[in-house]
Structure 1
Amino acid sequence: MNKLKQLRKKEKLTQGKIAKYIGVTQQAYSYFETEQSKPSLETAKKIADFFKVPMEEIFFDNNNN
């Protein structure tokens, strides 16, 4: 399970609620979770702000460093 989905499930939120907050469709947010698409830098910042975590924690895999 990727980090976006983990955060969403932990907070018991729907994809639709997060999508509305960050200004994208539910389908677009679903693509971010399944890594079929990557958010723009602006959208990634909105997602990080929503979850109150640094962007790096969500979008960068520290295991590969």
Structure 2
Amino acid sequence: MMKYCPGYDFRLIQVLILCQSAWLLAWLISCCQAFNNRLQVIARFTNHGSLAAANRGVAEYELSE
């Protein structure tokens, strides 16, 4: 997506638009990784027994971040 803004260098606007897309992509990847890490912690603790242990593991993991 390219926009024209009078008074600004067109290349600068192009770069800013590309950077905005890159930041959005990085944010989405970060969210997916955090969700995956949470699932791994839950899986690790549910393999050892109870759901309560899994919830404690998630809470400890979130506090350590």
Give the TM-score, by structure 1 length: 0.26
- The structure that has the greater radius of gyration is 2
* Structure with larger RCO (C-alpha < 8 A, sep 6+): 1
Give the TM-score, by structure 2 length: 0.26
Which structure: greater helix fraction?
2
